[in-house]
A and B are shown apart, each in its own frame.
Chain A
Amino acid sequence: MVVVMRERASDEQVQGVIAKLIEMGFDVHRSTGALRTVLGAVGGTRQFDTALLEVLDGVQEVHRITEPYKLASRTFKADNTVITIGDVRIGGDEVIVMAGPCSAESEEQVEASAAAVKRAGAKVLRGGAFKPRSSPYSFQGLGEDGLRLLKSAADRHNLKLITEVMDINQLELIERYADILQVGARNMQNFTLLRELGHSKVPVMLKRGLSATIEEWLMSAEYILSGGNMNVMLCERGIRTFESYTRNTLDISAIPVVQKLSHLPIMVDPSHGTGKRDKVAPMARAAVAAGADGLIIEVHCDPDHALSDGAQSMFPSQFDRLMAELRIIAPAIGRSICLEPVARRGWGV
């Protein structure tokens, strides 16, 4: 940490800060310049709040030079984390696509959507059974029946299943069905839930909060990792900005930033990121080109009659076309994407 003193701060003020740093367990390197003194603080094992130093007399600014998160950081682990779920590897060379309806509505709808996304090359089926909607009067999901429908459709088509867990009370139930537990944007800082997920053996996908900084997001991942669950992937899903044309602004730059700061896989959700069907494909292409480890996309067999998020769900034919485009983009940056589309090999049709 570096503490920059104000110009012409008095000796007493500098001494006061040195005394505080020593009390906090740091070794202090004092460097007196012509106008101002800079104090370097190294070591120190205790957690501390830089604000405690910022309020001391004569202090101009305080800079941390290490990140507050440890297990999530690249300094802690230099190699990319690869999460293996059966034959699916997330964080490796292959870009993994997760797709499916926003929520499970009926057996026919889940089956048709699963078949469609499998045919296009998705590896993981997405779908919600408990839906956290902005309005309490909107469709709230099918609950355990929905989980059962999703799981059997996923099994039938050799897909893994990702579904959202909203509350600690649901965890035990959802763990029985899901291959990946999703934490939604609104729960990114639900620290009691995150702690509990830290004890789970099921991989977790942690979505970025609507107005969370990347540092806050990685701190949330730290909660899960520190509980012992090292299989955490992150998911950028758009942040709130002043722009109102799209529902959120998809932060593509978060991909290279996260890859620099962390070893965890980074996924992108262009469906929630834009909220509009016709914007999903361009953003999905951009995400893969920017180096995302995977995508999670809403695909519905009949979006116009979907009970939730119809406007942002792709038609299966649009999703097919997108997957074909992604197969051209991924190799340009040394990645692959479901090299052998099942449809061409005559499976599952």
Chain B
Amino acid sequence: MKADLEDLRNRIDLLDESLVRLLNARAACALEIGRVKRDMGVPIYQPEREAEVLKNVQAVNNGPLDQAAIKRLFERIIDEARHLERIADEVQSKEKG
């Protein structure tokens, strides 16, 4: 029993590592998008695109997390991406100005 728990916990740790890697890859991509948006003069907040992202992730969701849980989790991921884009934007405008 104890060994099982240990195994499962190791698995969680490995999955978390992958999640962090994936989240950072996603964040790097969001930053890239931020740069493109800035060059194009498009605002950081794009509600239609955010809605689309949420729809996409719900479409591929097979549980056990339900759709509302997926939505809440990705809302947080999007919040952080927006934050990252804003900080990058501030740094950029400071360097310029």
A residues within 8 Å of B by Cβ? Answer: 11, 15, 18-19, 22, 27-32, 34
Contacts and interface: CB of A to CB of B under 8 A. Distances in A.
B44 interface: yes
Interface string B57-97: 00000000000100110011011001100100000000000
Contacts of A34: 68
A37 to B, nearest CB: 9
Contacts of B47: 11, 15, 18-19
A19 B45 contact: yes
Interface of B: 44-45, 47, 51, 68, 71-72, 75-76, 78-79, 82-83, 86
Nearest first, the 4 A-B pairs at minimum CB distance are A15-B47, A30-B75, A27-B83, A22-B45
Given A27-B86, A31-B72, A22 B44 contact: yes
13 contacts: A11-B47, A11-B51, A15-B47, A18-B45, A19-B45, A22-B86, A27-B83, A27-B86, A28-B82, A30-B78, A32-B68, A32-B75, A34-B68
Given A11-B51, A15-B47, A29-B76, A22 B71 contact: no
Nearest to B86: A27
A29 B79 CA distance: 6
Contacts of B79: 27-30
Nearest to A18: B45
B55 to A, nearest CB: 11
A32 B72 contact: yes
A4 to B, nearest CB: 16
Most buried by A among B68, B72, B79, B83: B79
A15 B54 CA distance: 14
Contacts of A18: 45, 47
Contact of A22 (B68, B78, B82): B82
Nearest to B76: A29
B91 to A, nearest CB: 15
A58 to B, nearest CB: 13
A29 B78 CA distance: 9
A18 B43 CA distance: 13
A29 B44 CA distance: 15
Contacts of B76: 29
Given A11-B51, A32-B75, A27 B68 contact: no
Nearest to A29: B79
Given A15-B47, A19-B47, A27 B82 contact: yes
Contacts of A30: 75, 78-79
B73 to A, nearest CB: 11
Nearest to B44: A22
Contacts of B45: 18-19, 22
B83 A32 contact: no
A223 to B, nearest CB: 31
A29 B77 CA distance: 10
A268 B3 CA distance: 66
A200 B76 CA distance: 49
Contacts of B82: 22, 27-28
A11 B71 CA distance: 13
Nearest to A11: B51
Contacts of A32: 68, 71-72, 75
Contacts of A27: 79, 82-83, 86
A32 B68 CA distance: 8
Most buried by A among B51, B78, B82: B82
A168 B68 CA distance: 61
Contacts of A15: 47
Nearest to A14: B47
Contacts of B86: 22, 27
A178 to B, nearest CB: 47
Given A22-B86, A32-B71, 9 more contacts: A18-B47, A19-B47, A22-B45, A27-B79, A29-B79, A30-B75, A30-B78, A32-B75, A34-B68
